Structure 1
Amino acid sequence: MTTMAQESDVRRHELAGFLRSRRERITPEQVGLPRGRRRRTPGLRREEVAQLSAVGVTWYTWLEQARDIQVSPQVLDAIARALLLDSSERSHLFALAGAADPAPGTPCPTVTPGLRLMLEQLEPIPACIQNSRYDILAHNRTYGRLLCDLDALPPEDRNCMVLAFSNEDWRAAVVDLAASNRMMAAKFRASMAEHLAEPAWKALLARLESSQEFREVWARHEVVGQGGKTKYIDNAHVGLLHLEHNNLWLGPTAGPRLVTYVPLDAVSRERLEKLQALASAGV
């Protein structure tokens, strides 16, 4: 058996055991089902989970038996809801299944209350927390108005790569857009090397490839490591900003990071303070 096949087998058995343990801890009353008088199974029966998830009983049984079957993110989402999984359990379920979570609004366990407080206290310095896939997991108000109105976008669109190649407000704010996007694509390729088989990364790449500009840049096969640099951003509300872009890693370098944009002159500092006031006022 190859290493990849062994890993797949281990994942299936871990998934099966996890599903059984979550099913057995839930009472019928918790999900609005009658207990009945002849219940011997602790928690829910398999057919009850199948019923709540709107999937076939045989199919769900195979899943708990670690059979080698394909499972879609939508079905995993339904099972997660039926089993009343919390955010950490839900993330674990999708990780074991090797699937991308179709509910991007699910709270991210990476962003703790302490990190959110830190983002607020960094004002007026624009700051956000990103993962290695460039998803914006959290941001402060100034960052939310730095390049576009992030709060007006659905969570699934809050990704720097997607915005850089498709959002007109973001693109208008970036000075020397072509060079910036080429650099971002090179960093993204370097980050993706460790995640080539992961569904979430493949789905993002497929979405980006709808852009002709991205396809042309991607075809260069350039790679660049992560690092800080100075940037000019032409903000729609306060004008030109001269900023230093920095990354502070919150774990391994392939994991989440705190991204900040520190003003490099007094004018940029004053303009960021004005941007913060505008953001606070809801402008």
Structure 2
Amino acid sequence: MTSQPVRSVTVRAPAKINLYLAVGAPRPDGFHPLGTVYQAIGLYDDVTVRPGGSGTVPLRVTLDAADHVEADAVPLAPGTNLVHRAAQLLGAHHGRTLRADLLIDKAIPVAGGLAGGSADAAATLVALDRLHDLETPDDDLLAIAAELGSDVPFSLLGGTAAGVGRGELVTPYVDPAIAEATWWWVVVPSREGLSTPRVFAHYDRLRPDAAEEVVVPDRVMAALASQDPTVLAAVLHNDLQLPALDLRPDLVGVLEAGEEAGALRGIVSGSGPTCVFLCASGDHAREVADRLRPSCEVVLVATGPVAGTHRVEYV
């Protein structure tokens, strides 16, 4: 009996925030050493692939975007989006060209410090692997993900994890004591994105004395193990927050508004400009969000940690 060909595969990947982010001085290769704790939160992009493409355009990419996403900021032309690079690297790994029609259903804000592009790349790796029945080992997928960008391996894994190197060397945090813990976040994106390279360059100007090596302090993991949001709030930290606020002074008002609305703590996510606010519970997060909506164009509520990149539909 002949099996039926796969008609489409849909894969979901989450946004990430950095609970802690320390940035060192630039390495000789131009990358910065990072010591970070990632958490995947419940904002998602879906990537759907179907048989398609053409000789000159192996991967045809289209986009559906949520109302709060700046669709015009997402590049779709061949070679302009990280999903194209993901398809090329996965194909090269298997010695073939991978062809498909690919749809990004985007709800993660663009250039927002939430790793939306990395999520799309991770989802593309998994979706194309399933569409073409490649059976790529997990370790190989993670190695390809690391070539694509610092946040892509974590996008595959999800949950909560420590990251070192330039962020691509990821160790999942699997303490069984917090396996069921849920943290509540209010997420305030901005219509105007921030360039990650620009923020890092400004960090270098502001911190010419940055250390060559950085680590994640033990107190961060201890805070996670406590399962107490007030304890975690006290250790949230982002070295890129100062340069992001210097480039975008309006974000200072957003952080102040969130904490005045009752959030336990506000912090810029990654390179910004998205601001995230830790809350004590779901009811507390919804209350903070309601108080912020009159002054902020987009306010979202999300939980974490959530699962990493995973298939949601296979037909």
* TM-score with structure 2 setting the length: 0.28
Rg larger in 1 or in 2?
Answer: 1
TM-score normalised over the length of structure 1: 0.30
Q: Which has the higher helix share?
A: 1
